[in-house]
Amino acid sequence: MFFYEYLFVRTSLFWLLVNGVLGVLFYLDPGLLGSWRSVHVHAGVVGFFMNMVFGVAYWMMPRPGQIKQPGLEALTYWTLNLGLLLRGVLEPLSASRGQSDLLNAGLLLSALLQLFAMIVFVYAMSRRVVTNEMLWRMRKLREEQKKR
């Protein structure tokens, strides 16, 4: 497992804990639910689930063609988690202090960062998912390049 694949999986476990702690806090103090519900949902869906899926997919998918894209992995990791962290900070502020243009702009930036991470991931995976025929062509091309 390479560095960013490891980070994706470890970070997903962190967000799982955040999700669980928030769930217990909601049970103990239902008043927190309003301002922290979105953070709870995003910690579970984006934080845990998407980080785990992205990390495992980046780890498992290069196997047949040995395709590695460390730059795309890093870009996906940082934009996804920066967007998620930004949302985790700004969403409760927005609920407690009311909406402002600055908070709304921050929340929009958060959403755009997460969307960008998804687009990068889809692009990277589209390059990695290959058929047997494509693998044979890649192998033949590598062998030809070694002969030169």
Amino acid at site 82: L
Q: How many domains does the chain have?
A: 1
* Structural domain for 44, as ranges: 3-147
Q: What is the pLDDT along the chain (148 residues), one digit of tens a residue?
A: 789 999 999 999 999 999 999 999 999 998 888 878 989 999 999 999 999 999 999 998 866 567 788 999 999 999 999 999 999 999 998 877 777 899 999 999 999 999 999 999 999 998 887 777 877 887 888 888 988 7
